[in-house]
Structure 1
């Protein structure tokens, strides 16, 4: 018989509903990292501890473990070195296995921003995570060179595929920044398929990569450079036209997008290509408006790096533990997204954008201290479905999404001298967007104002 004190810290509060002990044990069995004898720190406990580290980036090992023990009603007296050794013992395998099971797990809804007709709206993009400046990490994750001496820390590039409506992670890969986004993207192709439309920026407009995306059965809507030569093969009635990209038929849409704010108007020309060749599948105006949903993936990255991570450098100091930590970050984000989507799905027609990630994260941290949720959640109706986190989310919904804009300037410049000469970062402003589809032979043919 083993004391409950040993197994007590194996929880994540109410998030344990989405990461049950049975799933963790299955991961340990599959990766052959389950212990042969019961230790003071069982592997199951350490998996939960590693994910908890992602939720509490500002706290040290002992403080995070104390929160898990407090929620379990036990007294934990474990040294930081013992916890670090236990992390090395389980390695990256169980966390990678769990992420593979959880990714794409947040249920989708039929609300705005989730589906375009019968196609699930998805986006692909990359982001950068800063890592500790240690010799073992520098052997694999190098610093980026550039102006002002380059980056101060080695960095990892994460490329993710998300569902824009719920912002749940469908798949993600990562590696050194020396490996570009388009080089990492093929690893995400198995997660693409029929019933999807993939949105991406100009960096992904490589013909060979787009053809491979199309071969999965998924459609794409990607921005390309305005100077790119795409000859007109057939003009369409909505102002778009059919062309050929490296031997494959594509549809080209060009538009003048004007942003109206109190400071004046700013216009930029966008050119998109898509495999949706028939205007009946989506007019040029509809597709140009759809492309704006690509920014949802930037919100996902902000939640991981700023809301949850606080903009901090990752804490792990070896390659194996840094990769373990990155998977823990992705798992924690997916768990929060599952809880948030579960809450908004409890009320028909409620847009997932109305759920606050900050509130979900705060409540998830509090619930770790209060202890794991019971199998039967309290409350009637939607409260039983959404749980305690969902209860607070639905009681504190964000206002409906509104169009705002802000200057894309660096708030913390590398050089203080450069910062003096740079225009200060101003607040966001309400904005109105006008989209005018440009027919390359006739001129302006369609105007939409979403």
Structure 2
């Protein structure tokens, strides 16, 4: 058994296209197991082999469990050792035994290790930028999945598939996802975002679209010693009659605290909000021949015009599209727009 496990570990760690040796070596996995005090029997599919097999299964065009087990058998056959059964039961049970917290910790560790390798010249104005956005994923129509992530209410029962909404934060410097949360379809993007702010590091800059541009969220981000660059929410009108002009198409504006407690905030959280905040508003125009000229207004907490010029911030918001491309890559290129697991726990994993 020990020989077969070692053969699989060596094969997975050296496989082309699978960066386990650099990003997720066995030493990192063993440390995560030790921190969570996870004990396991000496099986062929121990947590390390199971995790690598699971990841290679997700990356493979053929995402079936049978294909994952067949790969392990092929690796062992090359070495002339005893071949295990081709039945997928042992592998599927091993996947289900992997704790979600274990995978969450590894996910976080990989993102941090990538960011530690980023040189200062790849940062924006010397600071790390994180991009946030939301998306959806579909899954098999099982009773458990429907209960955890119900299908859209506009669809008749039995005529749709369970859908979950995900919120993701990517690092602009590395392109890697560093934080993720999952909830039901009718969850607003801003609720997902509030679950993700805890993963920001001091001095990070959060970049997002208009869905995240809310008074309470700007305050929360500033309280974490971070800054934000969002597109202005459509509910707020743009006028140059208010505010202090600090440059061409650039001004400082004082926002008043909402009169009513917004949805998603408790009374205590609402009462703790300051009566006013000062933000910077930048607007510019997108002119495309043959199309109506569009005005874009940006709201940011970066008030220093010397360190963060108007053009720098406008150029930074242009990179927000990277989050759309990253999500499209995960969902379309990796075939993860429709997940294949039949239980909510495996869907999250």
Scaled to the shorter chain, the TM-score interval is 0.7 to 0.9
Alignment partner, residue 249 of structure 1: 278
Deviation string, structure 1 residues 269-311 (Cα, Å, up to 9, x no partner):
1111111123212332332222111111111111211111264
| Secondary structure class of the residue paired with 1:77 | coil
Q: Does 1:271 align with 2:297?
A: yes
Q: Distance in 2 between matches of 1:160 and 1:300?
A: 10
Q: How far has the Cα of 1:69 moved from its partner?
A: 4.3
Alignment partner, residue 9 of structure 1: 8
Runs of at least 4 residues off by over 6 Å = 147-151
Counterparts of 1:203-352 in structure 2, within 5 Å, are 203-226=211-234, 228-229=236-237, 232-245=242-255, 246=257, 247-260=276-289, 264-309=290-335, 311=337, 313-324=338-349
Residue among 27, 35, 45 paired with 2:32: 27
Alignment partner, residue 264 of structure 2: none
> Greater CA deviation, 149-158 or 9-18?
149-158
Q: How far has the Cα of 1:135 moved from its partner?
A: 0.2
How many equivalent pairs are there? 316
Structure 1 vs Structure 2 CA RMSD: 2.5
The two structures have a TM-score, normalised by structure 1, of: 0.64
The two structures have a TM-score, normalised by structure 2, of: 0.82
Contact 2:251 2:282 in 1 (8 A): yes
Please list every run of 5 or more consecutive structure 1 residues that lacks an aligned counterpart in the other structure. 325-450
Alignment partner, residue 415 of structure 1: none
Contact 2:131 2:171 in 1 (8 A): yes
Alignment partner, residue 266 of structure 2: none
Taking structure 1 as reference, are residues 271 and 146 closer, same or farther at Cα in structure 2, changes over 3 Å only? farther
Q: How far has the Cα of 1:183 moved from its partner?
A: 1.0
Deviation string, structure 1 residues 199-233 (Cα, Å, up to 9, x no partner):
11011011101210111111111111355146622
Question: Greater relative contact order: 1 or 2 (C-alpha under 8 angstroms, separation 6 or more)?
Answer: 1
Taking structure 1 as reference, are residues 283 and 183 closer, same or farther at Cα in structure 2, changes over 3 Å only? same
Q: How far has the Cα of 1:193 moved from its partner?
A: 3.4
Q: Distance in 2 between matches of 1:275 and 1:166?
A: 24
Contact 1:226 1:269 in 2 (8 A): no
Contact 1:221 1:291 in 2 (8 A): yes
> Greater CA deviation, 239-248 or 140-149?
140-149
